[in-house]
């Protein structure tokens, strides 16, 4: 666990920057600091929390905030599924803790570390997740506590920390040129959906879905090509 806890610290500091900005926004909408802290511990889904609070800030209904948050959180179905090998032999209670503390950052870090060292497992995931949770909860609660006394954070560029964190995660899971096409398709689809008037949460999901579809098709085509090559080799050897 200590290895994961140490290595997640740079991501945790980045999360704290946009967590503070989120806390300020939540306070200005009307959330108390203890409520923001409780939401961060119980929900622990930064992007979904931000989208939900932004819906409130725009005068949206509670149902709209819930739907937007749930839509953006659907990506965790794929994230948790990708951890099946990591959690295969983990006891149930420990597995539930691991799933709860899994975030975009510590998932990407765990996947990247596991690619280098197959012995990296659930302890790394949980250790990094607990530290990430601590950074996120503390920063969001602090931002909400200071609240209205903070000027417009956009002028300081703090909001870009959220984008920067995802860029760093994308770099961490980049395996080489074979990923380029799916990355480009995902990016282009997201931009087109946003320009078409889709809400950000649904545009992100649509872009991710496009990227996954392209990567899956490439994988299937490579498997078929390999199978055909193997069949040709066997036929030639038999002749």
* Alpha-carbon dihedral sign for residues 61, 64, 70, 73: negative
Nearest in space to 153 (alpha carbons), one of 6, 12, 17: 17
Give yes or no for a contact between 37 and 144, defined as CB atoms under 8 angstroms apart: yes
**Contact status, residue 16 vs residue 138, Cβ threshold 8 Å:** yes
User: Tens of pLDDT along the chain (239 residues)?
Assistant: 888 898 888 888 888 887 888 888 888 778 888 988 998 998 887 777 877 777 766 665 666 667 767 766 777 777 888 888 888 888 999 999 999 998 888 888 888 888 888 888 889 899 999 999 999 999 999 988 887 666 666 555 555 555 655 665 566 566 677 778 888 888 898 889 889 988 766 777 788 788 878 888 887 887 877 766 666 666 655 55
Q: Which residues contact 46 (CB under 8 A, 6 or more apart)?
A: 15, 18, 19, 22, 103, 104, 136, 162
**Helix or strand holding residue 188 (H, E):** helix 180-195
Query: Do 142 and 17 form a contact (C-beta atoms < 8 A)?
Result: no
Cα angle at 206 between 194 and 130, to 5 degrees?
A: 100
Tell me, what's the pLDDT at 162? 58
Neighbour-count burial of 28, counting CB atoms closer than 10 A to its CB (0-12 exposed, 13-18 middle, 19+ buried): middle
- The pLDDT of residue 158 is 56
* Residue 234 pLDDT: 64
- Give residues with Cβ within 8 angstroms of 203, minimum separation 6: 190, 193, 194
Model pLDDT, residue 138:
94
- Residue that has been written with the tokens 């802290």 in this structure: 37
CB 169 within 8 A of CB 102: no
Structure confidence at residue 127 (pLDDT) = 92
- pTM score of the predicted model: 0.66
The phi and psi torsions of 106 (rounded to 5 degrees) equal -75, -25
- pLDDT score at 218: 82
In angstroms, the Cα distances linking 115 to 9, 108, 110, 173, 174 are: 20, 11, 9, 9, 11
């Amino acid at each position: 666990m200590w290895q994961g806890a140490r290595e997640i610290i740079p991501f945790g500091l980045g999360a704290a920057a946009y967590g503070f900005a989120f806390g300020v926004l939540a306070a200005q909408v009307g959330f108390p600091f203890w409520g923001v802290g409780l939401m961060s511990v119980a929900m622990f889904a930064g992007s979904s929390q931000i989208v939900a609070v932004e819906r409130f800030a725009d005068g949206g209904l509670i149902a709209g905030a819930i739907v937007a948050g749930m839509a953006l959180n659907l990506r965790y179905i794929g994230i948790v599924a990708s951890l099946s090998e990591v959690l295969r032999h983990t006891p149930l209670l420990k597995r539930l803790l691991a799933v709860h503390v899994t975030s975009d950052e510590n998932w990407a870090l765990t996947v990247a570390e596991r690619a280098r060292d197959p012995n990296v497992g659930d302890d790394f995931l949980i250790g990094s997740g607990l530290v990430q949770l601590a950074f996120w909860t503390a920063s969001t609660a602090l931002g909400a506590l200071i609240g209205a006394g903070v000027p417009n954070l956009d002028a300081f560029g703090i909001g870009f920390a959220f984008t920067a964190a995802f860029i760093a995660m994308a770099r961490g899971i980049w395996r080489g040129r074979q990923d380029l096409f799916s990355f480009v398709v995902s990016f282009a689809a997201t931009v087109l959906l946003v320009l078409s008037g889709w809400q950000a949460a649904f545009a992100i999901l649509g872009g991710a879905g496009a990227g996954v579809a392209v990567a899956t098709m490439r994988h299937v085509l490579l498997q078929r090509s390999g199978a055909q090559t193997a069949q040709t080799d066997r036929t030639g050897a038999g002749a």
